Amino acid sequence: MEKIPTIGQLKQLVAHMQGVIFPDFYPAVARPDLSLPEAFWAEVPEIARLLNTDVDAVLHNDPAVTDRGEVILSYPLTFAMVHFRTAHALYALGVPRIPRMLTELAHSRTGIDIHPAARIGESFCIDHGTGVVIGETAIIGNRVVLYQGVTLGAKNFEYDAEGRPLDVPRHPILEDDVTVYSNTSILGRVRIGHDTVIGGNIWLTQDVPANSIVLQSTPEIRIKNKI
């Protein structure tokens, strides 16, 4: 019978990773009693490298940041990405259950929902973070910035002969140096070209060429005296 990991074991795993990756800010914590592949532990240096590029991306993109410690200890991106990058490495090794459980722990605390199978490059930045959704087959390049409420989702589903949804590529591809502003939904297997900026509150279901700016028309605003 498969042994289901406890929440305590998963939290210990995250605490162990935090202590290894950010030793100046988190205490050393022993590995949890989980049967994880040795190949995963060999991946930890790469996970650490990627996470440190994520921290640097926040420093580069947010003028409100004072130092690395502030990002590491208080930004929801860092908490979510420790869970995601750990989960993604385990998912790639075929470890069941634990990857999704890890990302849901981060989701419940930060409001950032990233499927462990998504592929995310280095120097990834989510500002604020609440309500961000990144689907299973999404591919995100390097130096991508997302703001709160962004959804990288599926437009629709394909079904097999028995009516079950097929697990096929159905989420967006964001190339390098893309910025997506708040409350925008990008749906389907569309490709957003590199160095593109997508404005807020946009519903996007088509490819966008590189070096583009995507905006919607400004609605008419009327201000009246309420008396």
Alpha-carbon separation of residue 18 from 7, 26, 42, 94, 140 (angstroms): 16, 6, 16, 23, 23
Domains detected in the chain: 1-110 (1.10.3130.10), 131-218 (2.160.10.10)
Q: Are 147 and 128 in contact (CB under 8 A)?
A: yes
Query: In 10 A of CB 30, how many CB atoms?
Result: 9
- Kindly tell me the sign of the dihedral angle through the C-alpha atoms of 45, 48, 49, 50: positive
Give pLDDT, residue 1.
Answer: 54
Give pLDDT, residue 60.
Answer: 93
Q: How far separated are the first and last CA of the chain, in Å rounded?
A: 71
Q: Name residues of the chain where pLDDT drops below 50.
A: none
Give pLDDT, residue 217.
Answer: 81
CA–CA gap between residue 7 and residue 98 (Å, rounded): 10
